[in-house]
Amino acid sequence: MTLPRLFAEIPEPFRAAYDPEAPWALLGQPLDAVLDGLPSDGIEVRLGPEVHLAGDRIAIGRGTTVGPGTTIHGPIRIGRDVEIRPGAFLRGGVWIGDGAVVGASTEVKRSILFAGAHAPHLNYVGDSVLGRGVNLGAGTILSNFRHDGAEIVVPDGDRRLSTGRRKLGAILGDDVATGCNSVLHPGTVVGRGTQIYPGVQLRAGVYPADSLVKLRQEIEIVERR
């Protein structure tokens, strides 16, 4: 049994290090190596006085806009033509591909966003990888830490995949879409093109490509007395 194919193309800085059977490994040494190689000052755009920068090795590409009230902690690489909306919080080592969107009041921590990935509305993206064209519905949370602090293990049928990580959110293949207010538990891997309905609480595990993950609920309406 193998994991579903997640990505059509891996960004060049991570290509040689990518293991399709352990995609979460990108969040370890490969991400550190890329961030360690950033220049001390690689900001190619003009930032307003309401943008707060902290730490070292902050790179922001041409054409990117950063809204007021945004806080950016280096090391971080933000590509070209990225939209960072007001009040975003980016911290703990982040790599963001060209044309991505990080929305208002969205927090991104220790994550990789491929080109065109969108976390546009009130999202938490912790220790996660978002493939090209991923779109997170408003309020989607990619939870990254177990209450007991134990290692994140990914169930996959009758096997359990050790990640070696105490913090791991979701690995979302290209063009995955989540509905509003969905929560993906630590250690969730979703194949390319899958859509997740609003309000779904998705437990750790491996979910196939090109699928619908539906939520069924029963609503009762009674007369007010």
Q: Compute the distance between CA of residue 35 and CA of residue 85 in angstroms, rounded to an integer.
A: 23
pLDDT in tens, 86-120: 999 999 899 999 999 999 999 999 999 999 999 99
pLDDT in tens, 50-85: 999 999 999 999 999 999 999 999 999 999 999 999
Peptide bond into 68 cis (omega under 30): no
Second-level CATH architecture of 12-213: 3 Solenoid (2.160)
Q: What is the largest CA-CA distance in the chain?
A: 67
Three-class SS of residue 180? coil
pLDDT in tens, 18-60: 999 999 999 999 999 999 999 988 999 999 999 999 999 999 9
| Active site (catalytic) residues | 121
pLDDT in tens, 129-175: 999 999 999 999 999 999 999 999 999 999 999 999 999 999 999 99
What does pTM read for this prediction?
0.96
pLDDT at 40: 86
* pLDDT greater than 90 at residue 217: no
pLDDT at 1: 63
Asked whether 120 and 100 are in contact (CB, 8 A), the reply is: no
